[in-house]
Amino acid sequence: MAGEADTPKDRATPIAAKALRAMKQPQPQAQAAPPDSSTNVTWTPPPGTQVEGAGPPHLADANAGAFNLPDPTAPPGAPTQAVNMPTANPIMHDPLARPYDLPSGGVFYGKYGYHKTVTMVPTRGEQENVIAGAGEDPQSQLAVLRGVMQQCVDLGPIPYDELVLYDWTALVINWLAYCNGTDIIGIRPQHGKCRPITVTFSMSELPCKVLRFAQAGEVANWPPAVPGEEVDDIEAIIMEMEREEGAKGVEEFLLTRDDSEGRFVTGPLPLTGERVTWRLPVVADMVTADDFASRIGSTDTSKGKPLHTFLLALQILAIDGRPVGRLEAMRWASRAATPTLDGFREHTSRRSWGYDTRPSFRCHCGAQFRVRLPLDGAMFRRRPSGS
Ligand SMILES: [Zn+2]
């Protein structure tokens, strides 16, 4: 965010300080989205790497039909056909197959035996071509990315559409790192109209929240703080130091079995006192949002834009215990006052996990600003040499 507080601890450890602020500040959900309108992000290769040109578009077009993109008209939660179709290259038997544990620890996939370990293989040449040939707009890149990932990542019993977006985001980061042969990335974020800065960092060093069930004798601590609870500066510094001592910024939170239903109710929201029942965002919502975005002709997810409101509305199940449909949820989200909406957004963001995908950087002008990492096909076009 442009012009965030400029404090010594920010200067020393921007990412850790940002993690702390993330706990205190409302944040948009972690779905991959276009960069904030105030920032401009361009992926650049790490030092000493070569940039490959995009693949031939005609080749990509020819291959595009081979990918089973999710059906945007399918209702949320309905498995796409692609999930159940046998794949030409069974991932489990691929010599390059590598396991990955979802940061949710599988706690929200009770229907599927709390499955948490997925299997990934890197992209092959023809898939690279498809990715390279994706259009420039973020929505079509996301659609292609989802399609290719379905070929390269085996979720076991979890239907692709039911994967919670926070898990999906973490999976994308780790899978892209595997495909690229490194998790060091370079970006050139821009603060407002200032000159862009150049930064390289390791994706795995982004702060990451992981979840598991509390065992006997352990106290559940998720979400991590009570709404409105203030942390003073000294406590903040101590918490930050503890976080830095942790394994690469990984924080573990403990859940109760009740938490794992994936449905939550807010406290009384500001101004109206309404209590909103909501569910976690899943991959199917992203597909539905893509369809909505293409119909309204805008992929802008900033606050107040129709797509932002739509994404919020998709999560809303009931208001004061009364079930609402999508249209009514949309009306509620469109008409609610900003403090009420902020209260809702804060509540939902506190129930997020996985990587913090909006790291904070310092501009030449001295301001600290956040950059939403663009998790899309563009990341594939920057590959380290020799990999
Ligand atoms: Zn600046």
**Cα–ligand 1 centroid distance for 49 (angstroms):** 27
Where residue 371 falls among pLDDT bands split at 50, 70, 90? confident
**Cα–ligand 1 centroid distance for 153 (angstroms):** 39
Give the residue-averaged pLDDT of 204-227. Answer: 81
Q: How far apart are CA 240 and CA 249, in angstroms?
A: 10
**Cα–ligand 1 centroid distance for 192 (angstroms):** 6
**Cα–ligand 1 centroid distance for 302 (angstroms):** 20
Length of the chain counted residue by residue:
387
**Cα–ligand 1 centroid distance for 191 (angstroms):** 5
Placement of tokens 């506190």 in the chain: 350
Dihedral sign, Cα of residue 236, residue 237, residue 242, residue 248: positive
**Cα–ligand 1 centroid distance for 108 (angstroms):** 41
Run of H or E residues at 63: helix 57-64
**Cα–ligand 1 centroid distance for 54 (angstroms):** 31
**In the chain, where are the structural domains located?**
50-183
**Cα–ligand 1 centroid distance for 346 (angstroms):** 27
pLDDT above 70 covers a percentage of the chain that reads 67
**Cα–ligand 1 centroid distance for 254 (angstroms):** 39
Return the closest-CA partner of residue 147 out of 51, 83, 52: 83
Tell me the whole-structure pTM to 2 decimals: 0.69
Return the closest-CA partner of residue 34 out of 142, 130, 149: 142
Return the closest-CA partner of residue 167 out of 186, 153, 183, 187: 153
**Cα–ligand 1 centroid distance for 195 (angstroms):** 7
**Cα–ligand 1 centroid distance for 366 (angstroms):** 6
Q: How far apart are CA 31 and CA 194, in angstroms?
A: 27
Q: For position 230, what pLDDT does the model report?
A: 46
Does residue 76 have a cis peptide bond before it, meaning omega lies within 30 degrees of 0?
Answer: no
Q: For position 359, what pLDDT does the model report?
A: 77
**Cβ contacts of residue 376 below 8 Å, gap of 6+?**
32, 138, 141, 142, 145
**Cα–ligand 1 centroid distance for 16 (angstroms):** 20
Q: How far apart are CA 13 and CA 244, in angstroms?
A: 9
**Cα–ligand 1 centroid distance for 188 (angstroms):** 13
Per residue in 149-194, pLDDT tens?
889 999 999 999 999 999 999 998 888 888 888 888 778 888 889 9
Per residue in 246-266, pLDDT tens?
445 788 899 988 889 889 999
Where residue 333 falls among pLDDT bands split at 50, 70, 90? very high
**Cα–ligand 1 centroid distance for 4 (angstroms):** 11
One-letter amino acid at 346 equals E
Where residue 383 falls among pLDDT bands split at 50, 70, 90? very low
